[in-house]
């Protein structure tokens, strides 16, 4: 890969993805305080894998991202806050950064799953538009940011993965699920919508905490 493509740890991708996600979904709390960022990184929903990072680990990840220009510290508030520069540093449009964010937070997914899971970040008109942006991200002359994975046995669609942590190891989806029929697709859609609702509740709670602390 080109040097312009960073090589991030799992926690660094989680911090970066959380900053982009919260900027789009709860703009009133953005830039994020350390406490809000920590809660977002450790969410139980819309995250794969689920993790339990502590403040020291988050700060270490932030420092690494600062060196790459992907994260910056924002002054002018009683509480230290953090913002991202993902689109500027990587040179990607808002639509592409939405796809990257969901891949950073949830791991490899099909174009159909990405369209559903991106709904709150950017509404894609159809799967073809998702695939078009994925193709652009994969074929960048500066170095691909995503890759299409080989199709798993029993699957109807290929999954995509981000390359911000280096080459991707091929593994089965969590729980060994495969999309083999319409009912499985419906379950995936339902699961995505339940995740979105749970995320909204979590973000509303975070917003109330932020407002109480201001």
Cα 71 from Cα 90, distance rounded (Å): 12
Q: Residue 10 belongs to what H/E stretch?
A: helix 10-25
pLDDT of residue 177 exceeding 70, the answer is no
* pLDDT tens readout for residues 34-50: 999 999 999 999 999 99
Structure tokens at 158: 């290929």
Cα 88 from Cα 71, distance rounded (Å): 11
Q: How confident is the model at residue 78 (pLDDT cuts 50, 70, 90)?
A: confident
pLDDT of residue 199 exceeding 90, the answer is no
Q: Give 151 or 148, the one with higher predicted confidence.
A: 148
- Please, are residues 2 and 143 in contact by the beta-carbon 8 Å criterion? yes
pLDDT of residue 180 exceeding 50, the answer is no
Q: Is 81 helix (H, G, I), strand (E, B) or coil?
A: strand
CA contacts within 13 A on the Cβ side of 32:
28
- pLDDT value at position 153? 85
pLDDT of residue 155 exceeding 60, the answer is yes
Q: What angle do CA 91, 63, 168 make, to 5 degrees?
A: 55
* pLDDT tens readout for residues 127-150: 999 999 999 999 999 999 999 999
* Per-chain mean pLDDT for the chain: 86
- pLDDT value at position 77? 74
Q: Give 89 or 196, the one with higher predicted confidence.
A: 89
Q: How many CB atoms lie within 10 A of CB 199?
A: 20
- Please, are residues 115 and 196 in contact by the beta-carbon 8 Å criterion? no
What is the strand order of the sheet 81-84 is part of? Answer: 32-33, 81-84, 71-74
Domains by residue range for the chain, with CATH: 10-88 (1.10.10.10), 92-196 (1.10.10.10)
- pLDDT value at position 2? 40
User: E strands along the chain, which residues?
Assistant: 32-33, 71-74, 81-84, 109-110, 146-148, 159-162
Strand partners, 136: none
Q: Return the residue matching tokens 């809000």.
A: 36
- pLDDT value at position 96? 98
């Amino acid at each position: 890969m080109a040097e312009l493509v960073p090589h991030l740890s799992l926690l660094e991708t989680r911090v970066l993805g959380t900053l982009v996600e919260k900027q789009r979904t709860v703009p009133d709390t953005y830039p994020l305080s350390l406490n809000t960022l920590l809660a977002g990184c450790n969410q139980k929903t819309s995250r794969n894998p689920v993790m339990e990072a502590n403040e020291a680990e988050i700060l270490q990840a932030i420092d690494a991202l600062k060196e790459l220009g992907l994260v910056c510290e924002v002054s002018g508030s009683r509480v230290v806050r953090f913002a991202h520069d993902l689109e500027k540093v990587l040179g990607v449009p808002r639509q592409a950064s939405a796809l990257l964010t969901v891949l950073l937070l949830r791991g490899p997914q099909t174009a159909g799953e990405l369209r559903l899971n991106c709904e709150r970040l950017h509404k894609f008109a159809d799967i073809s538009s998702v695939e078009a942006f994925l193709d652009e991200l994969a074929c960048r002359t500066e170095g691909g940011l995503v890759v299409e994975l080989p199709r798993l046995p029993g699957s109807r669609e290929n999954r995509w993965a981000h390359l911000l942590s280096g080459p991707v190891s091929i593994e089965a989806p969590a729980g060994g699920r495969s999309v083999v029929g319409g009912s499985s697709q419906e379950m995936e859609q339902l699961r995505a919508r339940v995740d979105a609702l749970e995320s909204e509740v979590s973000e509303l709670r975070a917003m109330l905490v932020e407002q109480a602390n201001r």
